[in-house]
Structure 1
Amino acid sequence: MQKKKASADELIALILAGIEEVKGQNITLLDLREIENTVCDYFIICDGTSNTHVNAIVGSIQKTVSKATKDKPWHVEGQENAEWVLMDYVNVVVHLFQKQIREYYDIEGLWGDAKFTTVESSINQ
């Protein structure tokens, strides 16, 4: 059986579903397609409340994406301390932070030219 390559929109929807499954917070989608020399088309950024929560979000995203597409992230980095975990799905890169680490690195500020979409969670927080 050949694995189906997910479109960027499908991949984003699956990643967002994985984040929401375990109550990831402050989800932002950055569209980088209009910016020259970017490493990918989209960033998804969210935060968790602890290293355990951040790792739970990583696991949920991997499970949700893999179940639907048989696709795995090309690279995952930062799970050891889980303050900032990067999941690279090639054209979509996910940044999962603990809140204070996200504020410190301010990825959104670094990519100020990107189109921002705040994802409203369907989960009441």
Structure 2
Amino acid sequence: MLRFVLTNLRMYKLKNDIDSKVLCDAIIEGMQENKAKDIVVLDLRNISSAVTDFFVICSGESSVQVDGIASTVARHTRKELKEKPWHQEGKATSEWVLLDYVSVVAHIFYKDARHFYELEDLWSDALRTDIPNLN
């Protein structure tokens, strides 16, 4: 089963030849479009144990906003790059929505959940870029 998943994942990567930095930037734009807070990009490309190139992490003020940010990111990447997430998780509760684009993973947290999981601290050896909030 794992071999099947990995084979399908490799095929997905081959079919969608978008540069991971371009995809990362489009995800940030989608987050900003829905007023996401505290956007952080973790560049994982130089970490041998990383399973993706980038994590893009942000917070929403409510579960409704978290869901809205996730929807806006998916819509924006589809419109701008013809990309859609390979896998999504967390839409049912909107405490932590994960959009997995294979080379970039977007993490959209309700602010309290983000503090609990401390994802940035788990990957503290990654190159971190803080994106200013838009007013």
When normalised by structure 2's length, the TM-score is: 0.86
- Number of aligned residue pairs: give it: 121
SS in 2 for 1:33: coil
* Pair 56,35 (structure 1): closer, same or farther in 2 beyond 3 Å: same
Give the equivalent residue in structure 1 for 2:78.
66
SS in 2 for 1:54: helix
Give the equivalent residue in structure 2 for 1:105.
117
Encode CA deviations 1:59-92: one digit per residue, 9 max, x unaligned: 1101110001221100000000000011100010
Measured in 2, the distance between the counterparts of 1:94 and 1:58 equals 9
Pick one of 8, 19, 29 that aligns with 1:17: 29
Question: What's the RMSD between the two structures over aligned residues?
Answer: 1.3
Aligned counterparts, 1:75-90, within 5 A: 75-90=87-102
**Runs (4+) off by over 4 Å:** none
Give the equivalent residue in structure 2 for 1:118.
130
- Kindly indicate whether residue 29 of structure 2 is the aligned counterpart of residue 48 of structure 1: no
The structure carrying a bigger helix percent of its residues is: 2
Measured in 1, the distance between the counterparts of 2:19 and 2:53 equals 12
Residue 5 of structure 1: how far off its partner (Å): 3.5
Letter of the 1:37 counterpart = S
Show structure 1 runs of 5+ residues with no match.
none
When normalised by structure 1's length, the TM-score is: 0.92
Measured in 2, the distance between the counterparts of 1:36 and 1:75 equals 23
Residue 94 of structure 1: how far off its partner (Å): 0.6
Letter of the 1:30 counterpart = L
Residue 4 of structure 1: how far off its partner (Å): 6.8
Give the equivalent residue in structure 1 for 2:10.
none
User: Once structures 1 and 2 are overlaid, which stretch shifts more, 5-14 or 78-87?
Assistant: 5-14
Contact 1:41 1:91 in 2 (8 A): yes
Give the equivalent residue in structure 2 for 1:28.
40
Measured in 2, the distance between the counterparts of 1:100 and 1:30 equals 20
Identical-pair percentage: 41
SS in 2 for 1:30: strand
